């Protein structure tokens, strides 16, 4: 169930408004049917939206997201401001759309030409690229250790896959309500997912090359806690190279 908003299709709304105005008003005022100037204004409004939406018009159908409460921080990936990104919906790629990812409600939101916040249906999302990140909607399966259903960042997609899951939960911190962000990393290997919390767990999963990987980490001065996602990705790539994958 969606957390907020109401079903919104701006194009459909414009069409309904046109039909209502053209059918209802003549019934109330017969003289109105002769008012071609007013009818032209209505038609022009609809056409203006179609020009603004262009070939992206089919994207703006879904739930209209309500605003979050104004707190000291925000629940979005990187920034609460929309960023221009690349989006694939049902196999169709839209190279320039305004997106933001809500980590609290686990929703990918697009900004419509009339400045409405439209939640994209995850069933239709193939991927999104924003803030230099590749976002996918992962659906939990029966594999051991499977990550939860929701939006994840795909950090590596070779034989061994790396997923990053970020969330923002409303909690009381120091007697004030705030969004508390958390991050989890998942590594897929040999038909099983593993939650990676530290360097030791990563090396345990990437046997039998632990000794070579320790040398690689030391030679490249990699630090797990400084940039966990990059650390895991680089070590996994080296593991695949050593394994001939």
Considering the domain boundaries, does residue 2 fall inside one?
no
Q: Which domain holds residue 236?
A: 197-245
Per-residue model confidence as pLDDT tens digits over 137-173: 999 999 999 999 999 999 999 899 999 999 999 999 8
Looking at the fold, whether 233 and 209 belong to one and the same domain comes out as yes
Identify whether 138 is part of a domain. yes
- On whether both 75 and 168 belong to a single domain, the answer is yes
Tell me what the mean pLDDT of segment 81-101 comes to: 95
pLDDT for position 174 = 85
- Average pLDDT score, the chain: 83
Quick one: pLDDT at residue 37?
65
Give the whole-angstrom CA distance, residue 162 versus residue 238.
13
What's the half-sphere exposure (Cβ side, CA atoms, 13 Å) at 34? Answer: 3
What is the tally of structural domains in the chain? 3
- In this structure, are residues 68 and 75 in contact, taking their beta carbons and an 8 Å threshold? yes
Does residue 107 sit in the same domain as residue 210? no
CA dihedral for 237, 238, 240, 241, sign (positive or negative): positive
* Model pLDDT, residue 6: 42
| 185 and 82 both lie in a single domain | yes
Check whether residue 172 and residue 231 sit in a common domain. Answer: no
**C-beta of residue 85 within 8 angstroms of C-beta of residue 99:** yes
Q: Are residues 82 and 191 in the same domain?
A: yes
pLDDT of amino acid 113:
87
């Amino acid at each position: 169930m969606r957390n907020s908003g109401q079903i919104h299709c701006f194009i459909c709304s414009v069409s309904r408004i046109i039909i209502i105005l053209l059918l209802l008003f003549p019934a109330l005022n017969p003289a109105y049917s002769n008012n071609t100037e007013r009818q032209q204004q209505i038609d022009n409004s609809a056409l203006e939206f179609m020009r603004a939406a262009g070939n992206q018009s089919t994207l703006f159908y879904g739930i209209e997201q309500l605003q979050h409460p104004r707190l000291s921080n925000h629940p979005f990936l990187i920034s609460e401001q929309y960023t221009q990104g690349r989006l694939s919906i049902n196999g169709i790629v839209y190279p320039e759309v305004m997106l933001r990812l809500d980590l609290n409600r686990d929703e990918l939101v697009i900004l419509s030409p009339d400045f409405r916040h439209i939640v994209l249906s995850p069933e239709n999302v193939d991927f999104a690229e924003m803030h230099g990140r590749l976002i996918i909607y992962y659906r939990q399966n029966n594999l051991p250790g499977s990550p939860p259903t929701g939006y994840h960042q795909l950090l590596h997609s070779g034989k061994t896959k790396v997923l990053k899951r970020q969330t923002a939960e409303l909690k009381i911190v120091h007697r004030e309500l705030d969004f508390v962000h958390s991050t989890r990393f998942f590594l897929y290997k040999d038909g099983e997912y593993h939650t990676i919390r530290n360097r030791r767990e990563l090396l345990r999963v990437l046997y039998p090359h632990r000794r070579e990987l320790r040398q690689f980490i030391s030679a490249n001065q990699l630090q797990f806690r400084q940039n966990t996602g990059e650390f895991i990705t680089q070590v996994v790539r080296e593991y695949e190279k050593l394994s001939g994958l």
